[in-house]
Structure 1
């Protein structure tokens, strides 16, 4: 790990951390992005940026599928149009993060928020896609206000160290679970309610199909290279798995897990089969179609405000938790555990939420898959610039994305998850008042498929347990506010019932 940066009295202003007179700097690019100062090289940043893009590129395919259902009027956003704006906003937001905040964090449409948005559209009478996207824009603008007033960073500072460490561990477990599920190593199976949950080994308790073999080979290759400290280990693992996947698809014509007619293929590729589709020009006609106040007239002010609150709380803590985990993994923290230029990170994230809504691609957030690039050596914002440029190119070169199936990048996610989870040893397990909330934080992230859920449960538990121990003074006042907000968040269904919504 590189040495932590010097503490900053004002993390959102230029200071000694950004000094152009940086020891070891060799050129303007190096000085601006602090490449040498953070113990990195230009080549290392490029590899990291490419690895992050490969780990995240699936969002260009998956986000349109999540948002492809019709709204209350029967209108659809359209898969091709959503794919185009997904790549556009991800590219611009990630470049902004790299150039202004100078951290190796990439942003794209957040699946947790988008699932909420899709369910809202599917189940709420009278609400349309432009109106829902308007709610996302409003949630982002509220976040901008919270960052500008310093409230969001104040909440970050109020989180105890045990929970901050637990957030890192939880994100690591979450990333690993995403990799295992995306690869088909762990299959989604129906629960009692008929929904799918990520449990069960392979298909019917057995590992079947060539795609799973690609994952296993990729995982073994990546693990061996990482253990041997091979330069470019994660990226090499992705390339090896991708080549193998394309060869197997060309020979056996495996196909996706669900074909265009909706027929299931349990041993197929998890999302798309490796292929090279025909080129099509990007359609950006969805940009600017959000209706800011539409939901307030369609479902009433109270329901609209509840939906804004739900979206806001999810994106608020997802970004905070993810930035903590990634910054610690990259070693980009001060001796006091602070993240340099945290306000810039949070401001870019808040603006990306509104930008995503305004483009009808939904809220954009910092992606946990950025850890793949960090695992490859990314330490600076230059890696984010590389990732962002690749997203913009992806608008025009979409076929190239289809060459890399989920199964090829999933091994990288599992290995990076392991790296982050090793920080669990930093938790003081003798202090049960902090350790139990930390435990709830990191187990609920993967178990509920939500970073925000884990953070919320941990904060509520910390406040209650410390008070029961007679140590209520150890709970920061802002932590009480946040815990109360999460009580409302978790009980949203109850409140809607009581209010007759």
Structure 2
């Protein structure tokens, strides 16, 4: 039964191993229950409703991953994508969060069509292995940068664009303390180090006047304020087309980057660079994005922290099933998660960035035709504050550098096509 439901193979794993792996994955992902409401509520969305929606979107899509794709990965509203939703589309471009949710819904439906036609798999296959490693590392830097900003450790500086904030007081000090505590837990290899780090930092924020508790257990807040809140009258506007295209572009390569990063870090990529059950995983991601928009959250995607569960021995959908059950149990802890300040989640973002950047070790820096495009891909993600820009510039430079230097045999037709299409991003 377990084999039929989850792809469980008793020759390579055990039920106990899968259960422990699922719990480990949840413990490393659980910070999203505090971080996602913090980020999206900056747009004016109801924070309590966002918590419930984050739990439901994470649980349901992770269950789909367990039963349909049969892979040991957890899903939740993606880091970077939620930041793009809040800080770029809403706060930067000035659109309402209802407008942004409508754009997410449309791009989710489009992604379902792209998955059915295998186009997303073909795009993944077109990316050279060097850039796959670089994407994971670049996303790591981007997420770490977000964490440093959220805690006020890195702040705006008119002379140098960014600079070090006042780390001797307030949220920045709490973030530094939390970073040290969580780092020690990781060094000691404590299970659930990231979640424990959030808990300790949150408690330490009470005497500093940063954390304000109103309880721990309660019935889940209603999602009514954000459920199916779409702006249908804006579907055919030029503004919607631009935002949907941007979401498509960012989501496409964020998802590819995260999924490639997770499987690469977990050692699940085959020798010829293929990812098992990739189409099913993409379909779960596409359905999750569509459903998440209806529930009232940004794009749902596979989490790199799933590699923690794989590292514990998780190899089937049973791991994902256990993770989903843990999410549902967390549904009744809304007051606690909503009381967690941004300074308490910032250390986790910084350390997750560390976990993702480790794939940079697999890049051949002795070969400049590989190293230069990889470096550009990595550095442009945090510097341009855009994951998609990093991927675009990385692939375009890979094609140009190798073509002009006479190493065109390394290039495929798909790489040329993608490079040409990418150039339109800067021409539109």
In the superposition, the TM-score normalised over structure 2's length comes to 0.84
Q: Do the aligned partners of residues 427 and 120 (structure 1) sit closer, same or farther apart at CA in structure 2, a change above 3 Å counting?
A: closer
| Alpha-carbon distance between aligned partners in 2 of 1:469 and 1:409, rounded to the nearest angstrom | 45
Asked whether 1:290 is paired with 2:230, we answer: yes
* Residues 8-62 of structure 1, C-alpha deviations (whole Å, 9 max, x = no match): xxxxxxxxxxxx8xxxxxx659973447526881343133233233232223432
> Out of 333, 337, 343, which is 1:401 matched to?
337
Determine if contact 2:399/2:411 at 8 Å carries over to the other structure. yes
Deviation for aligned residue 1:395: 3.4
Instruction: Look up the SS of the partner of 2:76 in the other structure.
Output: strand
Which residue of the partner structure matches residue 351 of structure 1? 287
Bigger Rg, structure 1 or 2: 1
Which residue of the partner structure matches residue 145 of structure 1? 113
Q: Aligned ranges for residues 254-269 of structure 1 at < 5 Å?
A: 254-256=208-210
| Alpha-carbon distance between aligned partners in 1 of 2:410 and 2:221, rounded to the nearest angstrom | 53
* Residues 169-207 of structure 1, C-alpha deviations (whole Å, 9 max, x = no match): 33444455555555x4x713124399x85x526527999
Asked whether 1:67 is paired with 2:21, we answer: no
Which residue of the partner structure matches residue 481 of structure 1? 417
Asked whether 1:104 is paired with 2:72, we answer: yes
Determine if contact 2:40/2:82 at 8 Å carries over to the other structure. no
Q: Aligned ranges for residues 380-399 of structure 1 at < 5 Å?
A: 380-399=316-335
The structure with the largest helix share of the pair is: 2
5+ residue gaps, structure 2: none
* Residues 452-501 of structure 1, C-alpha deviations (whole Å, 9 max, x = no match): 2321111111111122113345322222332233333345xxx3xxxxxx
The CA RMSD over aligned residues, in Å, is 3.6
* Residues 383-439 of structure 1, C-alpha deviations (whole Å, 9 max, x = no match): 332333333333332124257666666666655544543433332223212210011
> Out of 391, 396, 411, which is 1:460 matched to?
396
How many equivalent residue pairs?
425
Asked whether 1:188 is paired with 2:154, we answer: yes
Q: Do the aligned partners of residues 332 and 313 (structure 1) sit closer, same or farther apart at CA in structure 2, a change above 3 Å counting?
A: same
| Alpha-carbon distance between aligned partners in 2 of 1:296 and 1:373, rounded to the nearest angstrom | 40
| Alpha-carbon distance between aligned partners in 1 of 2:409 and 2:3, rounded to the nearest angstrom | 48
> Out of 270, 279, 284, which is 2:218 matched to?
279
5+ residue gaps, structure 1: 1-19, 21-26, 69-76, 227-232, 257-271, 496-501
> Out of 45, 59, 66, which is 2:21 matched to?
45
Determine if contact 1:64/1:83 at 8 Å carries over to the other structure. no
Deviation for aligned residue 1:310: 0.6
> Out of 204, 220, 243, which is 1:248 matched to?
204
Which residue of the partner structure matches residue 310 of structure 1? 246
Q: Do the aligned partners of residues 155 and 81 (structure 1) sit closer, same or farther apart at CA in structure 2, a change above 3 Å counting?
A: same
Instruction: Look up the SS of the partner of 1:461 in the other structure.
Output: helix
Which residue of the partner structure matches residue 209 of structure 1? 173
